Amino acid sequence: MSDALTDIARDEVRSKAFSRYANTMLRYVMGGATLEEVVKAADCVDDVPTGYWGSRTKFSDGAKETAEKLKANDPATWAKMIFLLKDSFENYGLYKDYKAASPFPLDAQMIYLDFSDTWDDKLKPLFGDAIKNAGFCTSQFEGGDRYLLVIDQKTLDKIAKSAVWMGFHVTSWAPGEEFEKPTTPYQKDRKNS
């Protein structure tokens, strides 16, 4: 058993090792690293003991297969790697590099849907029926299917243009400050927009 500070330090070491692994993987796909370097970088991540938030990984088990699938432009493999990097502040540059190298449109927004996660229910009603109508499953047995929705900018612009403004909701107010509640949603009609 270890103390919390040691475990937290391990998580930091694992995070840095993962960054090196993801960078080496992308360099391999682009022709700047060998498969052996990818496996070695994966081993370095896997060698870090359990931390405070994170547990041991097994990236080296599938490193070669992942590298080959990325090189072959397999959309599911690209989606998984992009998702691993998406919410990581320290890997934001690497996330952008993966997104640019991926087979997905560069201007696309990516939305992760996990139908096994019962706590994340905001987007499921919106996209669940559409996914089923496209012939895909959303859950089975004791788990659920996961998807990365890739929505191009043209589609997002079309959705935004169909938005219906329902008014302005005041969320905070400082006593003594004058606040004029907006009466229009348009940037051109508002001060300080």
Q: What is the pLDDT of residues 72-89, one digit of tens each?
A: 999 999 999 998 887 777
Lowest mean pLDDT among 36-50, 57-71, 177-191: 177-191
pLDDT of residue 193: 54
pLDDT of residue 41: 96
Tell me the whole-structure pTM to 2 decimals: 0.75
Residue 13 covered by a domain:
yes
Domain total for the chain? 1
pLDDT of residue 123: 76
Residue 177 covered by a domain:
no
- At 118, the pLDDT band (50, 70, 90 cuts) reads low
User: How far is residue 143's CA from residue 125's CA, in Å, rounded to a whole number?
Assistant: 17
pLDDT of residue 24: 97
Taking every pair of C-alpha atoms in the chain, what is the biggest distance, in angstroms? 65
DSSP for 6-39, written as a single string: HHHHHHHHHHHHHHHHHHHHHHHHTTSS-HHHHH
Residue 20 covered by a domain:
yes
Residue 44 covered by a domain:
yes
Cα 42 → chain centroid: 20
Task: Please state, in angstroms and as integers, the Cα–Cα distance from residue 112 to each residue in 59, 117, 149, following that order.
Answer: 21, 11, 6
Q: Which residues pair with 143 in a beta bridge?
A: 140
Residue 112 covered by a domain:
no
Residue 129 covered by a domain:
no
Residue 73 covered by a domain:
yes
Expressed as residue numbers, the domain containing 73 is 1-99
Say if residue 91's pLDDT is above 60: yes
Residue 19 covered by a domain:
yes
Give residue-wise pLDDT tens across range 157-190. 998 899 898 888 777 666 666 667 788 888 888 8
Among left, alpha and beta (phi > 0; psi -120 to 50; other), residue 130 is alpha
Closest residue by Cα to residue 80 from 106, 35, 110, 57: 110
Cα 32 → chain centroid: 25
